[in-house]
Chain A
Amino acid sequence: MSSLTDRYVAATLRTVPAPRRTELAEELRASIADMIDDRTAGGQDHASAEREVLTEMGRPEQLAARYSDRTLQLIGPRYYLVWWGVLRMLLTWIPALAGTATGLVTATVGDEPGRAIGAAISVAFQTAVQVAFWVTLSFAVLERAQAPLGLPEWTVDQLPEETGDRQISQPDSCASVVFLLGTIAVLVGQHFQRWSTDDGSRLPVLDPALWSFWLPALIAVLVATIGLEVAKYRARRWTWPLVAVNAVLNLAFAAPVVWLLLTDRMLNPELIDRFAWLREGGADDVARIAVVVTVVIAVWDVVDSVVKARRAAR
């Protein structure tokens, strides 16, 4: 018996239940030998015939799975939808809760919001990975145990209320809220997580004097915008009152930002002093670009809301 066949049979038997091995080995060997004989009778040399036959038989693990009626999938159609439902439900809440809790605790212990945000993101990510791993592992075990879960059958009562007439989708709203929260975090964070300068001292990017009024005001506008997102989601579509509030909030954010930028009150004067390129006109360039970006975003957002409100009204 040649070694390739030996190796093939051994590799196949490795994952077949022990009681069947001896008999299966003999039958498999005979079958392979028959197939090789058939080819060598046609004039082919033994070595290449053997290679061809074993290639045709395919991966030993797959053959073994067919012999022992095993599934070659982590989670099959029987449990897939349940697995996905459980995973989605847990991932929606648990990482966010763990992250928020960690962030709050870190923020109360230390005095660095930047580190608190970093810790929150890191814990949320690790929790998500852990949840995904353990849920998937549990279902993979269930799949192999073939255990009946005794879950209730699907009924029409479980149909979602939504029929797709919603203009404002949940992912869109979530993304907007996350973006707004991120912006607030950046505004707060830049004061603590400062830019490092050449001599090693760290400076806030924005003028700390703005904390007396303008930065809290801008943050308040952003919080109000989060409220608008929630209201918009509940209304399911853009309505004219929402468009009006959106326009007011955009103006309330963009106008002060533009004014502060144009009157050189936005950037930290100490920071400008430290950098030659900022001193020599760079600060004006930064301000000009920031003004354009702010105005474009505000105008685009308002126009977008008007277009969508008109579409929804039709």
Chain B
Amino acid sequence: MVSDEVLRTHLQELRRGTIVVASLVALRRPDYGYALLQRLAAHGFAVDANTLYPLLRRLEDQGLLTSEWNTDESRPRKFYRTSADGETVLTRLLDDLSAVQASITQLIEGAGR
């Protein structure tokens, strides 16, 4: 029997890259850090706050996200949105993700025979 620790590590590895993809998709609709965290969690992407917040800033530095301060509400919040560059990168990432999925499917079918 495989230990939970081993399984957890592999799942973590598998999920790591998908957080970026999920964030870029979700931020087609502008949102601030904690709201995005909750939206991702609601869709099954459990990500730690101390991972997501720095990630958002890194994506912004890379030009994949743009940001804007919203001061309409009582608490000023920084809203992120996927930029044009972010959209380009996202398209490539999504293509790759489906390519991986297709390859896995092929492999499974091939192995079954």
Contacts and interface: CB of A to CB of B under 8 A. Distances in A.
Given A38-B34, A67-B57, A69-B58, A30 B76 contact: yes
Contacts of B38: 38
B78 A66 contact: no
A34 interface: yes
Interface in A26-45: 26-28, 30-31, 33-35, 38
Given A30-B32, A34-B33, A67-B57, A57 B49 contact: yes
A163 B35 CA distance: 58
Contacts of B32: 30-31, 34
Contacts of A26: 76, 78
A30 B53 contact: no
A135 B53 CA distance: 36
A24 B33 CA distance: 12
B51 interface: yes
How big is chain A's contact interface, by range?
10 to 19
Interface residues of B, number: 17
Contacts of B58: 69
B34 A66 contact: no
A167 interface: no
Nearest to A31: B33
A124 to B, nearest CB: 43
7 contacts: A26-B78, A31-B32, A31-B53, A34-B77, A35-B34, A58-B50, A66-B50
Interface of A: 23-24, 26-28, 30-31, 33-35, 38, 56-58, 62-63, 66-67, 69
Interface of B: 32-35, 38, 48-51, 53-54, 57-58, 75-78
